[in-house]
Amino acid sequence: MRPFDYARAATSEDAARQAAEGATFIAGGTNLLDLMKLEVMAPSALVDINRLDLNQIEEADDGGLRIGALVTNSDLANDTRVRKHWPVLSRALLAGASGQLRNKATTGGNLLQRTRCLYFYDRATACNKRDPGSGCAARDGFNRILAVLGTSEHCIATHPSDMAVAMRALGAEVETLKQDGSTRRIPLGDLYLLPGDRPDRETVLEQGELIAAVTLPAPVEGRQIYRKVRDRASYAFALVSVAGIVAVSEGRITRANLAFGGLAPKPWRNAEVEDLLTGEASSDALFGKAADLLLAEAQGFGANDFKIPLARRTLVSVLRELSQEASA
């Protein structure tokens, strides 16, 4: 690990100012410290934000929830309001990492964790995300865990977060703060950038822009599921995951919120798939059409070809279960 300066932020504005001047935020550090040890990231300075007042979960006036950026994954997953009204989020969090990591990992840090592509972590190989212009060794290499949607010739990395997939299905927004004190709200789906020809640019955040909170809309009708398919029962990233919220009335689907993990460089959501389902009677034929639409532009790269039929089966299974439960 290379030498670096370290400072504790006194206020959110102070943290944003230091980051704007080149420092890197650190909270739980569950991803950042690994990257620093491998010299994949080598920040010259860290600004510790753990003492900021960003660790509260508060009810909003509209019936939603405001989650501070420093709320740990464990506290969020076990919050009684989350478990009752937004259970897909609790289930997604509990499906991720280990108990020890959830005790340290924060809401803001979880959203901004880096890809787990093997070539991103291996400094001896080509990776446009780590070293722009060097190439993408993953395309013709061992790409079993990598993306089949939203990729480019420059990068096929996946986003690893379970929490972000559930939040995407819930329609979450991110609240940010800049060094001048100004704020903005970003729909979670707009936070992330697809790789295109600049895979090193992963989000729309500006230098020094601090995630202060995530807001969830008021609870909606429907049953909720988070289904994660992975190589082992715990402490493994998703090969395919689905966060689903489905409501059924008189045998017809009245709401379908679906987000997907393990398939793309960002938590994936396709409005056309949801529109196809809405208003229709539940059936395996309908669910198959939804899967066809979702995966119409999917492309495998050899070792990850299996993800396409796996995603199809997982989506159909989730929709079947949700529609049956919602009709009960």
Q: What are the DSSP calls for 283-322, one per residue?
A: -HHHHHHHHHHHTTT----STTTTHHHHHHHHHHHHHHHH
Sign of the alpha-carbon torsion through 300, 306, 307, 311: positive
What are the start-end ranges of the E strands in 1-144?
5-8, 24-26, 45-48, 57-59, 65-68
User: Rounded distance, CA 227 to CA 91, Å?
Assistant: 9
User: Rounded distance, CA 56 to CA 77, Å?
Assistant: 13
User: Rounded distance, CA 302 to CA 172, Å?
Assistant: 34
Based on DSSP, count helices (H) and strands (E) in the chain, helices before strands.
13, 11
User: Rounded distance, CA 117 to CA 144, Å?
Assistant: 10
User: Rounded distance, CA 76 to CA 66, Å?
Assistant: 11
Ordered per-residue pLDDT tens for the chain, 328 residues: 799 999 999 999 999 999 999 999 999 999 999 999 999 999 999 999 999 999 999 999 999 999 999 999 999 999 999 999 999 999 999 999 899 999 999 999 999 999 999 999 999 999 999 999 999 999 999 999 999 999 999 999 999 999 999 999 999 999 999 989 999 999 999 999 999 999 999 999 999 999 999 999 999 999 999 999 999 988 899 999 999 999 999 999 999 999 999 999 999 999 999 999 999 999 999 999 999 999 999 999 999 999 999 999 999 999 999 998 655 5
How many CB atoms lie under 10 A from the CB of residue 150? 21
Find, among 50, 46, 91, 52, the residue nearest to 73 by Cα: 91
What are the start-end ranges of the E strands in 49-166?
57-59, 65-68
pTM score, whole prediction: 0.97
- What does CATH list as the number for 223-323? 3.30.390.50
In eight-state DSSP terms, residue 10 is S
Task: State the number of CA atoms in the 13 A half-sphere of 235 facing the CB.
Answer: 5
**What would the DSSP string read from start to end of 49-62?**
-TTSS---EEE-TT
In eight-state DSSP terms, residue 233 is S
How many CB atoms lie under 10 A from the CB of residue 232? 6
User: Residues near 79 by Cβ (< 8 Å), separated by ≥ 6?
Assistant: 57, 90
210: helix, coil or strand? Answer: strand
